Amino acid sequence: MIPLDKQERYRDIYRSLRPGYEDSVTLYARLVGRYVTREARVLDAGCGRGGVIELHWEKVKQAVGLDADLPSLKEHRCLEQLVTGDLARVPFPSAYFDLILCSWLMEHLATPDEVFRELARVLIPGGHLVLVTPNAWNYVTLVQRLVPGRFQEWLAGRIYGREQKDTFALAYRANTKGSLDDKFRRVGLVNEEFHFVGDPSYIAGSDLLFRLGVWWERITDWGPLRRTKVHLVASYVKL
């Protein structure tokens, strides 16, 4: 098992080996912070129980969390304005939000085209959408994609110690740079910044596996192999 505290310990070791390294959540938070202003209306799409929004919700004009999972919303750690609903039918007017956050959302979307169309609709021209999601071409994700859906929750619990309430169905229908760029372009959003982020802690069940992970990260720092890093972090702007 690789519980969160063990992952964080190996992540700290990796930071000491790679000065300047930012894990995906740190990088995502930095990109989000770039667009946070006192006058901003922010939508946390698929907000769950919290996340990066916890760093910024008191700094903006309005912060809204939208999620289809009511139990998660009932346990949300900060937001006061929470909406249960379908991301393919966002219950807000067009051009309402200045900033949309999508953390660990893309991998769960069964109909990403519908969701992206709605997110683009409620975003103002010049507004930003920032995301972090697993990369469909990483070996960790490839293994998950090979596992039948009914066993994915069990696997996540066995490997990462996650509770069943924290695991949801995976689709991986918008989890490459090409697919994200294409789908967002169709709804009027263009890529502004894109990062492929590695993290050896995802296989660090032991010191040996961690060293193997570090070795693999060095290999995939090279050229086209960079596109196989475990996470994607990106920002898009609406034209």
Residues 85-143 pLDDT 10s: 999 999 999 999 999 999 999 999 999 999 999 999 999 999 999 999 999 999 888 88
pTM to 2 decimal places:
0.92
Tell me the C-alpha distance between 112 and 131, whole Å: 14
Cβ(106)–Cβ(180) below 8 Å:
yes
Dihedral sign for Cα 181, 182, 186, 187, please.
Answer: negative
Phi, psi of 226 (to 5 degrees): -60, -30
The per-residue pLDDT for 205 is 83
How many CB atoms neighbour CB 126 within 10 A?
9
Under DSSP, is residue 8 helix (H, G, I), strand (E, B) or coil?
helix
The per-residue pLDDT for 202 is 86
Residue entry with tokens 């990106």? 234
Low-confidence ranges of the chain (pLDDT < 70): 1, 147-167
- Count CA within 13 A, CB hemisphere, residue 103: 21
| Distance separating the N- and C-terminal Cα atoms of the chain | 45
DSSP assignment letter at 202: G
Nearest to residue 150, comparing CAs of 166, 167, 163? 167
Residue entry with tokens 């069940």? 205
Break the chain down into helix, strand, coil percent, rounded to 5: 45, 20, 35
Torsion from C-alpha of 167, 168, 174, 177, nearest 10 degrees: -10
Q: At residue 41, what is the residue type? A: R
Nearest to residue 180, comparing CAs of 101, 234, 110, 225? 234
In CATH, what number does 4-238 get? Answer: 3.40.50.150
Domain ranges in the chain?
Answer: 4-238
